Amino acid sequence: MTSQMLRVAEVEVLTPLVKRFRFEHPEGKTLPLFSGGAHVVVEMEDGETLRRNAYSLISDPQDGSGYEIAVRREDRGRGGSRFMHTKVSEGDPLRVNAPVNLFALDLRARKHVLIAGGIGITPFLAQLRQLTRLQLPFELHYAARSRAEAAGLKLLPQAPMIQVHLSEEGNRLDPGAILAHQPLGTHVYTCGPEGLIVGVEDAAQRLNWPKDVFHSEAFLSPPPGKPFTVTLTRSGLTLTVAPNQSLLEALEAAKVEIPWSCRGGACGRCETEVRSCKGRIAHHDHWLEDAEKSAQTKIMPCVSRFEGEELLLDR
């Protein structure tokens, strides 16, 4: 994956838990353009550990003067967002991978309905600029618990097709009501907590919307957990995955070649065959089918962990 060293040009506190970062080329060169919904992977050298976290781009896809992301601090995570919040300042160099889009708009849609919860607003910020530029019909619904927590309020323009739902103010988002009166050919996109995504998908199913008009991007950061050991049949290595490390990071630290893209259990690129499993794989991905998960014959090393006696992988 191509990456380049960029400079942190701006850091802005949006809420106590969310900061916006702007990256620019150190010599002012234009960065590759992207499409709404794309993400970049930011590399962080955190002591001995190299962390790579994926963040949706929130800036204008047609503006190559810089890339912007918004990062929510997850104190119970493995440390990537904490690193961004506490160790990254304006002027710092940071390695950023080229944008990849796993959550693109389907431009054949008659209308686009975007439904975001919390920090899940991020991919839609670039998409709504794209939709506005292309003059395509859309509406965006943004749900948050309270005004104080709603980082998106500082990033969203005010427009009639953008509606904010704050549950503390009694204005809870109702996916069924949003989808009920949309024209045939509408596509719905959702990003945010699992409960919201499931709620939107259920509402679409109840209304008999075809499956291919429903698009979602789940925000998965690899969960920390107990350390575990894994043996690799091809490279002959045995590795221990630390509590704050993902299996993918442990493989990378051992210089084992493994493809990746989303680093969040959604793209399928890191899929790895399990040769033997004496124990239980904690599957955290949205990629494998339920039957594949229960058979324990595959694992997504970017997010999944293991507990038990022996895990042999085809790597």
Question: Given candidates 96, 164, 204, 267, which one binds ligand FES under the rule CB under 6 A?
Answer: 267
Question: Given candidates 19, 78, 263, 293, which one binds ligand FES under the rule CB under 6 A?
Answer: 263
Please tell me whether residue 25 adopts helix, strand or coil conformation.
coil
The two tokens of residue 170 are 């009694």
Rounded to 10 degrees, the C-alpha dihedral 247/259/118/186 comes to -140
Nearer to ligand FES, 165 or 263 (CB): 263
Q: Is 220 in the site for ligand FES (CB under 6 A)?
A: no
> Residue count at the site for ligand FES (CB under 6 A)?
14
Q: Is 77 in the site for ligand FES (CB under 6 A)?
A: no
**Rounded distance between C-alpha atoms, residue 141 and residue 213, angstroms:** 17
Dihedral of CA 211/217/222/225: which sign?
negative
Side by side, the strands of the sheet bearing 238-241 are 238-241, 228-232, 305-313, 272-282, 298-299
Chain-centroid distance of CA 19 in Å reads 16
Nearer to ligand FES, 95 or 111 (CB): 95
The residue range among 161-169, 178-186, 209-217, 258-266 that interacts with ligand FES, by the rule CB under 6 A, is 258-266
**Rounded distance between C-alpha atoms, residue 103 and residue 258, angstroms:** 22
Q: Is 64 in the site for ligand FES (CB under 6 A)?
A: no
In the shown chain, the binding pattern of residues 269 to 288 toward ligand FES, with x for contact by CB under 6 A and - for none, equals: xx--------------x-x-
Question: Given candidates 70, 251, 266, 311, which one binds ligand FES under the rule CB under 6 A?
Answer: 266
Binding site for ligand FES (CB under 6 A): 260-263, 265-270, 285, 287, 300, 302
